[in-house]
Each structure stands twice: as C-alpha cells, then as structure tokens.
Amino acid sequence: MKKLIFILAAVSMTAVAVQAQWRYLGPGDLRVQALKSHDSILYAGTSNGVYRFSADAGAWTPLGLEGRDVISLHIFDADTMLAGFESGDQSIYRTTNAGASWEPFQNDYGGDEFHPAFEFAGVPGSKYELFATGISVIAKSDDAGLHWRPVWLDWNWMAMGMYFVVFDPLDPSVVWAGGEAAIFAPWLLKSIDGGENWDMLDIYGGGDNRCHDIAIHPLSGDTAWVSMEGLVRKTIDGGMTWQTVLENNYYLYEIEADPLRPNTLYCSGAQGMLQLPMFITYDGGVSWDTLYAPDLAYNGCLAMVLQAGDTVNTLFLGTHHGVYEFTDSPSECCQGRVGDANSVGGDEPTVGDVNTIVEALFLLVSPTPLTCLAEADVNQSGGAHPVFTDISIGDISVLIDYLFITGPSLGLPDCL
C-alpha cells in the first residue's frame, strides 16, 4: 500500500482573520469526483451518474447515467456533454440533449483497448479542441471528440495516471500537465506550443509522490503552485526550481488561485478518517490557515470549483459524500478605491501605489505586492468584472496622470 507513513507538520496560521462557512448541498451520499461550472451552472460527475445544480432552487437534477461511476466531465453547452469513466466497456459517453439520453462516444480513444478518461480540458477560445488524460497518455481531439491522437506517450505505456491539464490564464499556448509514473515518481509536464510537444520538469526528488493539480498565478505564468501527496510546491521561474510551501498529511487533490487576489489560494484533499479540510493562504504560500468542515471525518475533497467575488469567494467541493459549499471573505481586497494598488486603503491613491505596480511588473517581486487586481487595474482594461487580469504599464500612466497632471478630474471610481 502506498504512503503508509505520512510526514506530519504544523501548519502556520496567518494573521488575517478568516470568515468562512461550510454548507452541505447534496445530491445525497454520493462520491463526487468531477465538478464543472458552465454559465454559472454546476455539474457533478458522481458514483451514480451526472447531476446539475440549480442555485435558485437549491436542488439537483439528475442528467442520466444512473448506476455509473462518472469520474470526468466536459461541458460544451447546456445540451452537449462528455462523461468519462475509469472502468467498463466504454471510456467516454456523450449526450446532445441535456442528459435525456447518452451514447457511447469512444471513437478511437484508447486505440484498440479500453483506456480510462481521467480528465477533460477544453482549449480556451475553441469550441472543438480538447484534451483528455489517461493512465499514460495525454490525448487531443480537434473535432470535439470525434477523433483522438496522443500528444504525450501512448495508450500502452505503464503508469499510474495523468490527472490534469491546465492552461496559463494569460497565455493559452502554455499548458501544464501532471500525474504519476509507474515507479510512483511524480510527473510534471509543460508545453509552450499549445500541447503539441511536452517537456518533463523535475519537481521533486524525494521518491514516491504524485502531481495532483496546479494553480497558475493570474499575472505571471512563471509562478505556479502544484498540489501533491502531502505537499504544495511553488515555482517562480516557470518550473526550473521548486520550494515546498505547505506540508501536511493529506493527499492534496485540488488547488485553486483566486483570479482577483493573486496571493490567495485554496487547497484541499483527503486522507483516511481525517476531516474534510480547507487550507488557505493569502500571501502566496508563506503562511496558511487551516479550516475543517465540522463533524465530517472520513471525508475529503476530490474535486473543486472556485467562484471569485468582490468580497466573498465561494468554493464547491466534490467529496466522498456529496458536494459541500465553502465561503471565504478575504479581508485584504477592495478596501478602498481603484488605484489603491497596495491595498492600504484611504480616499486617494499615492506614489506608493505606483511603486507597487512597478514592483509587480518589472522587478518581479515574489510574492507579488498586488493583493487585489480590481484595485490595481486602474484603467479598467481587464474586461468585465470579476476577472481583472490586464495589469500593465497603462495603469502606471493613469496613476501618474492622476497624481501629477489631471488630478481628481480623472475621476477614479470606487473599487467595484
């Protein structure tokens, strides 16, 4: 049995007060290994088929495949979805009528034999391109699953599994993937050409481990955090070097970065009789808070979706026993108005805010001094709220104009 002995470590607590709340959502005592959000609708792949959650009604609607253990999902739209399986006679099923019926959609996935579909990942901006991961392979489809071709290894290699494919939020041609080799060594891969070619990175030299998930910094693709067995490892140089920023006794299956607050991350996992946990950092991994769902022993997180808001973040956790909602109120964001890049607060931006953006963009200070993108995106070029990602020299120009030329007539708004 793997991992009989776990490294136990004390988790340091941050000085930021955490305001969090747990809530059970359902849909019954089912194992939930896949969670996807599409058009603000939550979909769950469970040990008893596929479900859709309506927040307005607070209820789950079954979408078919009852009696089947669904481990992965891809949502094209409200009608068309793929479901993946770890065992059985078919790896992939498809519905085109919102779950009223499903058909085998194996096509040539797996070659001539069954091959699990552990994860799907759609290419940003494309309706048809997507990746799927299996035991030893990353496969790509250019036509929404009608045909598949391996882009990393092949169907018949020995391994423990590939578990994620994640795109850099600023540059979708940069793709990360991870899993575990046959000798229990962690696999971490990176592509700079959209997933056509891959390089293996050396993330860990300590023996038996696995790369479960990755969170990429919303402002810098060179900074990322990988969740592993009992570890979170961080890089600030695109994967060339790594340091451990969290160490505990959980299999850390999921990690998510807040797109509004670059240094805020959420991590969760599972292990034996232990409680359902949430590990939170507001400083890029320097220190962590640990919160447990009350009275939830022998339960753990297998899948996670983050919905970031102005002042409240909502996370949905797929667990061994249904879906739980976790809400957190990070206190460092949106204390003042747009232009308060250093989040000191107050009525007026200062030279200190200019310095903060300069440090983040050009001096590569890590962790980044930007704690809230909504405040640092001074020229509001980041697109529709709540995803602000375009922090640039233009924001510095607007602040300088406000401070030394135009002044209050520039009319900087309050933080949205």
Query: Measured between alpha carbons, how far is residue 241 from residues 21, 101, 165, 204 in Å?
Result: 36, 48, 20, 10
**354 or 409, which is more confident:** 354
CA 127 to chain centre: 20
The structure's pTM equals 0.81
Scan for tokens 């007539």, then name that residue: 409
What's the pLDDT score for residue 16? 37
What's the pLDDT score for residue 261? 83
pLDDT tens by residue, 181-211: 988 899 999 999 999 999 999 998 778 899 9
Tokens of 389: 């990602």
Is pLDDT above 90 for 364?
no
Average pLDDT over every residue of 79-91? 95
Question: Which domains occur in the chain, in start order?
Answer: 20-328 (2.130.10.10), 351-410 (no CATH)
What's the pLDDT score for residue 378? 76
Is pLDDT above 80 for 222?
yes
pLDDT tens by residue, 111-141: 888 999 999 999 999 999 999 999 989 999 9
Is pLDDT above 60 for 384?
no
Average pLDDT over every residue of 300-326? 93
Pairing state between β 265-270 and 243-257: antiparallel
* Dihedral class, residue 108 (left if φ above 0, else alpha if ψ from -120 to 50, else beta): alpha
Q: Of 258, 265, 252, 220, whose CA–CA distance to 239 is shortest?
A: 220
Least trusted range by pLDDT, from 1-5, 209-213, 251-255: 1-5
Report the chain's mean pLDDT, rounded to a whole number.
85
Query: SS3 for 94?
Result: strand
Query: SS3 for 199?
Result: strand
Helices 351-358 and 393-400, axial angle in degrees (round to 10): 170
Tell me which H or E stretch contains 396: helix 393-400
Tokens of 37: 């959000």
Query: Is residue 228 within 8 Å of 207, Cβ to Cβ?
Result: no
pLDDT band at 243 (very low <50, low <70, confident <90, very high): very high
Number of neighbouring beta carbons within 10 Å of residue 59: 13
What's the pLDDT score for residue 401? 80
Pairing state between β 301-307 and 289-292: unpaired
Query: Is residue 178 within 8 Å of 212, Cβ to Cβ?
Result: yes
What's the pLDDT score for residue 392? 75
